[in-house]
A and B are shown apart, each in its own frame.
Chain A
Amino acid sequence: MSSTPVAGTSRGDPRLSLAGRRRVRGVAGLVVGVGGFLLVWTLLSELIFGEFTLPPPLEIGQLMWEIVRSGEFIHHFVPTILRLAYGFGLALLIGFPVGYLMGTSRWWRAFFHDMVMVAGSIPGITYAVLALVLFGISILGPVLSVGLISMPYVAINVAEGLDSVDRRLVQMSDAYGRRRPTIVRNVLIPSVAPFAFAGVRLSFALAWKVEQLTEVFGSSSGVGFQIRHEFEDFSIPGMLAWVLLFIVFMILLERFVLAKLERFLFRWRLEDRP
């Protein structure tokens, strides 16, 4: 036991290098993967399809750079992201009470069951065109679509989160004469918030696709609007440049911002996270 520190370092070292090696391998895989993908794309474009049908990645890369440099990117990105954020806010606002009702009452669970279960399988075009009919060209369409798409995920997660609330904490608050609103604010909401957020994250991929479609159909700004604009100009490179920029941005947002936020919200339950 006296040699603990030495044993510790000698045991620690290979593990560290193993993690390091794994990370190097991950990055190498990414580089090789993306490089191979771009190479195959270039070859297909040069040899088989032709530059008009499938523009080479270099051309699209230049266009993407141009879009970012000219400030157009920010100009159309900010509204799209804001609508997404409002939509998620709406989903949380409605999903919380709905999830609470579903988690605490059998009747309300049955009441919301069908709505919650079908929302995800409804084709996106339904949301897009109905929003256009109801609201015209307006911010309400994309926001409501995102809200409706991700509300069920939030609600179901909140309902599940309620099961995880520490009963003893609630009983104790009761015993010390805390009133219901106080318990809800100080015990229930903090316990359930991370679950609600996990619902948002689950619905993220689906929600932004539907939002884009809504923008394609009825919007005067945003990435979806820009995609439609390029389509009407018959510009394949322009369309691909916009959608690829958006996808890259969304994947980064999902991986880094949302994943970190979720870990932050769940930090008090570290034992659940591997």
Chain B
Amino acid sequence: MSSTTTTARRTGTGRLARYFRSDVGARVTSYVFLLVVWQLAALYEERFPPPADALGFLWIEVSGGSHGGVVRGEFLEHFAATLPRFALGVAISMVLGVLSGVLIGGSKIAEALLKDTLLMLVALPAIIWAFLTQMWLGLGDDAVVITTFLSAFPFVAVNVVQGIQAVPRDLRRMSGAFHVSGYRRLRHMLLPAVTGYLFAGFRFAVIIGWNAVLLGEWFSSSEGVGWRSRYWYDANRYKGFVAWVILFVGFIVLLDRLVLVRLQRRAFRWRDAQLGETERQIEEIDVGATVS
């Protein structure tokens, strides 16, 4: 091992080998590996476009160029249609989720009455809401927004319930015994305990809501990211569909890794300080699996 490092320092290819052995090198290698797999998949099934085709299509779509004929790239239009629906759906799910979470977490009676209903809602797949809202409301914004919030809100509620129940009972009893004021109890006992769970709930709401908004648009809209994906799919132009997959997966992955995970990590600092890297990773990939 030591002999390879010395030669590595001496020669130019050695520097490359050292880069390859570094963490960044490993990640770059993994992306190259994925591209190769994709290329092979395209050879296996000719309907499935190779990376170059999909990326070329993606560029036309994003830059607003022509796909031939009158059809033009419409990247901004569709994101502009989807994002407000998505934001509204997630916002409603946060408000309703926090309210019902506080109700269920705070009251024994509400817990007995509503907890099973909540678990059932958590178990309902988003596709059911997409189908139901289409049958109830027809095509349009309402169906999409309602699909989004109905799919996401149970996860927020469950997390808030967990947060409230995570406040140690001794602490609650003690603050009762010492007549700690309501404000101080809220500020120093309840909020620190619930904040992390609230952020986790928000993160789930965003991830699950994004899936739901796409499904809602796939079935009951005539614009938006989900609709546009379906448009290319229905037109048998699979490279268009794959281009949109890159767009909507890229959107949620970047949002999650760059913003949400950091927020969650920050909010759970007090709890997870002693966790190892693996345990933290389990917390972070644990989207919607914590419940049940």
Q: Which residues of A contact B (CB under 8 A)?
A: 28-30, 32-34, 36-37, 53, 106-126, 129-130, 133-135, 152-153, 156-157, 159-160, 163, 202-206, 209, 212-213, 216, 224, 227, 231, 234, 236, 239-240, 243, 247, 250-251, 254
Contacts and interface: CB of A to CB of B under 8 A. Distances in A.
Interface stretch (B66-74, B180-188, B210-218): B210-218
A239 B132 CA distance: 9
Main secondary structure of the interface of A (DSSP, over half): helix
A236 B129 CA distance: 11
B257 A37 contact: no
Nearest to B217: A125
Contacts of A110: 23-24, 26-27, 30
A107 B285 contact: no
A247 B292 contact: no
B289 A111 contact: no
Interface in B218-257: 218, 226, 229, 233, 238, 241-242, 245, 248-249, 252-253, 256-257
B285 A156 contact: yes
B112 A33 contact: yes
B120 A153 contact: no
B132 A236 contact: yes
Nearest to A103: B278
A214 B122 CA distance: 19
B288 interface: yes
Contacts of B44: 134
A216 B27 contact: no
A212 B125 contact: yes
Given A123-B210, A236-B132, A243-B125, A130 B245 contact: yes
Interface string B7-27: 000000000000001011011
Contacts of A53: 136
A134 B45 contact: yes
Contacts of B171: none
Given A33-B114, A209-B125, A216-B127, A111 B29 contact: yes
Given A123-B211, A133-B47, A251-B123, 12 more contacts: A29-B112, A33-B115, A116-B281, A122-B249, A123-B248, A129-B241, A133-B45, A160-B278, A202-B286, A202-B289, A206-B289, A227-B127
Nearest to B125: A209
10 contacts: A29-B111, A107-B21, A109-B26, A122-B253, A126-B249, A129-B245, A153-B285, A205-B288, A227-B131, A234-B135
A34 B119 CA distance: 12
A156 B123 contact: no
A234 B218 CA distance: 17
B166 to A, nearest CB: 16
B291 interface: yes
A227 B292 contact: no
Interface in B83-131: 111-117, 119-120, 122-128, 131
A108 to B, nearest CB: 7
A224 B292 CA distance: 20
A117 B285 contact: yes
> Which range holds the interface residue count of chain B?
35 or more
Contact of B288 (A118, A206, A250): A206
Contacts of A114: 27, 30-31
B279 interface: yes
Contacts of B128: 227, 239-240, 243
A61 to B, nearest CB: 15
A156 B281 contact: yes
A157 B278 CA distance: 8
A159 B248 contact: no
Contacts of A204: 289, 292
Contacts of B112: 28-29, 32-33
B222 to A, nearest CB: 18
Given A117-B257, A133-B47, A203 B30 contact: no
A251 B292 contact: yes
A236 B48 contact: no
Nearest to A102: B278
B30 A115 contact: yes
B41 interface: yes
A22 B3 CA distance: 67
Given A159-B278, A160-B282, A247-B124, A133 B48 contact: yes
Given A33-B113, A231-B131, A254 B125 contact: no
